[in-house]
């Protein structure tokens, strides 16, 4: 396993982090249940293989993850860094405290190393977290008492808002967790800014599918002959960005864990030539799929609120890279989360305005219709 300095914390973290959101399951009476014993075994194996950063959250694995992680790490609690999250439901400091106390109980620990404001955006940061005697005021107290060792946030918003949140945070954040992968590099500038402020960077979803082990021959073929698997390419891509410290992977079985550890133990960052080759392959794949949207946005704005290039990006996840579940999950977010505050393809009235402006001459209306058929569930 390789280790790096984690921002300005003075801590060295393993480059692979264990995301405890897909722990082992079994079937009983047609229901999926989480297997605590196997989960503990897997997490402990992760530690034996060198992972020292474990990330969980109150609702992961149908709210069993924190308890399983707490039991698993008990024998080596002081040798690892534990990360969990507080969902910011409102501006109440008391509610924030209760949720923190509940996490401490479930994890059976007296401190959390990296405690995240969970899935925040600029609006929730300004209006809830920063409220008088709200979550920000409370976390500072917990921090002074040593219960929260480092204050962190996980980010789900428009990329430009990451920088704004960091600036408004006035130096309290020591790490952040955000999306960044081969297929979604939209947070690149925010990550660079954060790193310059000394913030440790953890990325989730190193492969679009959310797990490094997700097999996608189309992804592995972006660099033919140079990588064994999509997991390896995804990891190498992430670590070629010098601003990134940890790739967090949700691992649900031993095979996935061992493969990811093997890759993280021998990271060869991509060369400039390899990065160029990948960029060219990404473009070529989209062109071959007949959906070569350059993301130029000349078609925007759509008078009916459809975000055409964003929707085509999601369609490519399905059509080109065959990570269809991920595409569907993201498509379902449209109109329901702040960072996808637009309409999905069903809102297209077929007025045709966009097609007149598209330099690629894409049959936008037809492709939107196809996209909705495939991704709407």
Nearer to ligand SF4, 244 or 306 (CB): 306
> In the complex with ligand SF4, which residue's Cβ is closer, 332 or 358?
358
CB of 293 to ligand SF4, least distance (A): 3
In whole angstroms, how close is the CB of 359 to ligand SF4 at the nearest point? 6
The answer to whether 343 contacts ligand SF4 (rule: CB under 6 A) is no
CB atoms within 10 A of CB 369: 15
Pick the closer one to ligand SF4 by CB: 254 or 282. 282
Specify the DSSP element, H or E, that contains 308.
Answer: helix 308-319
Q: Would you count residue 334 as binding ligand SF4 (CB under 6 A)?
A: no
Nearest CB to ligand SF4, comparing residues 264 and 364 = 364
CB 200 within 8 A of CB 244: no
Q: Is 358 in the site for ligand SF4 (CB under 6 A)?
A: yes
To the nearest whole angstrom, how small is the minimum distance from the Cβ of residue 335 to ligand SF4? Answer: 15
Q: What is the dihedral of CA 232, 287, 348, 357, to 10 degrees?
A: 130
Question: Can you tell me which of 308, 315, 323, 334 binds ligand SF4, judged by CB under 6 A?
Answer: 308
Among 33, 143, 184, 304, binds ligand SF4 (CB under 6 A): 304
Which residues have a Cβ under 8 Å from the Cβ of 114 and sit 6 or more positions away? 55, 81, 82, 83, 149, 150, 152, 174, 175
Contacts of 207 (CB under 8 A, 6+ apart): 181, 182, 183, 214, 216, 219, 230, 231, 234, 323
Please choose, out of 3-11, 76-84, 164-172, 358-366, the segment that lies near ligand SF4 by the rule CB under 6 A: 358-366
* Strand spans (E) along 2-124: 3-5, 12-14, 16-19, 25-28, 31-34, 53-55, 81-87, 112-120
Q: Stretches 19-27, 135-143, 144-152, 364-372: which one binds ligand SF4 (CB under 6 A)?
A: 364-372
Q: Does 295 bind ligand SF4 (CB under 6 A)?
A: yes
* Block residue for tokens 């297209």: 348
> Closest approach of Cβ 326 to ligand SF4, in Å?
21
Of 295 and 335, the one with the shorter C-beta distance to ligand SF4 is 295
Specify the long-range contacts of residues 98-101, CB closer than 8 Å, at least 24 apart: 99/58, 100/138, 100/142, 100/147, 100/148
**Residue 196: partners with Cβ closer than 8 Å, 6 or more residues away:** none
Burial class of residue 214, CB neighbours in 10 A (0-12, 13-18, 19+): buried
Q: Tell whether residue 360 is a contact of ligand SF4 (CB under 6 A).
A: yes
- Please check whether residue 160 is in contact with residue 127, taking contact to mean a CB–CB distance below 8 angstroms: no
What CA–CA distance (Å, rounded) separates 4 from 262? 17
CB of 301 to ligand SF4, least distance (A): 8
CB of 118 to ligand SF4, least distance (A): 32
The smaller minimum CB distance to ligand SF4, of residues 3 and 292, is found at 292
Q: Does 297 bind ligand SF4 (CB under 6 A)?
A: yes
Q: Which one among 13, 247, 302, 320 touches ligand SF4, defined by CB under 6 A?
A: 302
* 351 near ligand SF4 (CB under 6 A): yes
For the CA atoms of the chain, what is the radius of gyration? Answer: 21
Which residues in this chain contact ligand SF4 in the complex, by CB under 6 A? 293-299, 302-304, 306, 308-309, 348-354, 357-358, 360, 362, 364-365, 368
């Amino acid at each position: 396993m390789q280790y790096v300095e984690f921002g300005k914390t003075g801590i060295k973290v393993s480059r692979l982090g264990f995301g405890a959101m897909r722990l082992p399951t079994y079937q009983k009476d047609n229901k999926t249940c989480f297997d605590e014993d196997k989960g503990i075994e897997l997490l402990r194996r992760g530690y034996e293989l060198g992972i020292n950063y474990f990330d969980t959250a109150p609702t992961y694995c149908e709210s069993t993850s924190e308890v399983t992680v707490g039991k698993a790490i008990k024998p080596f609690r002081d040798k690892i860094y534990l990360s969990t999250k507080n969902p910011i439901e409102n501006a109440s400091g008391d509610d924030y405290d209760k949720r923190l106390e509940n996490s401490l109980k479930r994890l059976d620990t007296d401190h959390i190393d990296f405690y995240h404001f969970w899935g925040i955006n600029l609006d929730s940061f300004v209006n809830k977290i920063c409220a008088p005697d709200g979550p920000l005021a409370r976390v500072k107290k917990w921090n002074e008492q040593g219960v929260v060792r480092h204050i962190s946030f996980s980010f789900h918003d428009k990329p430009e808002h990451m920088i704004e949140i960091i600036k408004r945070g006035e130096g309290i954040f020591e790490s952040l967790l955000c999306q960044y992968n081969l297929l979604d590099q939209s947070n690149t500038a925010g990550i660079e800014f954060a790193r310059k402020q000394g913030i440790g960077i953890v990325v989730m979803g190193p492969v679009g599918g959310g797990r490094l082990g997700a097999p996608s021959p189309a992804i592995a073929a972006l660099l033919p002959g140079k990588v064994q698997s999509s997991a390896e390419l995804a990891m190498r891509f992430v670590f070629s960005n010098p601003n990134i410290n940890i790739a967090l992977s949700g691992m649900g079985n031993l095979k996935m864990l061992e493969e990811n550890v093997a890759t993280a133990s021998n990271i060869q960052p991509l060369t400039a030539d390899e990065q160029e080759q990948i960029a060219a392959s990404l473009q070529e794949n989209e062109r071959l799929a007949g959906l070569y949207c350059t993301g130029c946005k000349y078609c925007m704005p759509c008078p009916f609120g459809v975000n055409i290039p964003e929707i085509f990006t999601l369609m490519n996840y399905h059509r080109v890279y065959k990570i269809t579940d991920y595409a569907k999950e993201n498509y379902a977010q449209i109109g329901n989360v702040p960072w996808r505050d637009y309409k999905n393809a069903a809102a297209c009235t077929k007025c045709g305005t966009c097609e007149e402006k598209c330099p690629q001459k894409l049959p936008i209306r037809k492709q939107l219709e196809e996209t909705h058929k495939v991704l709407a569930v």
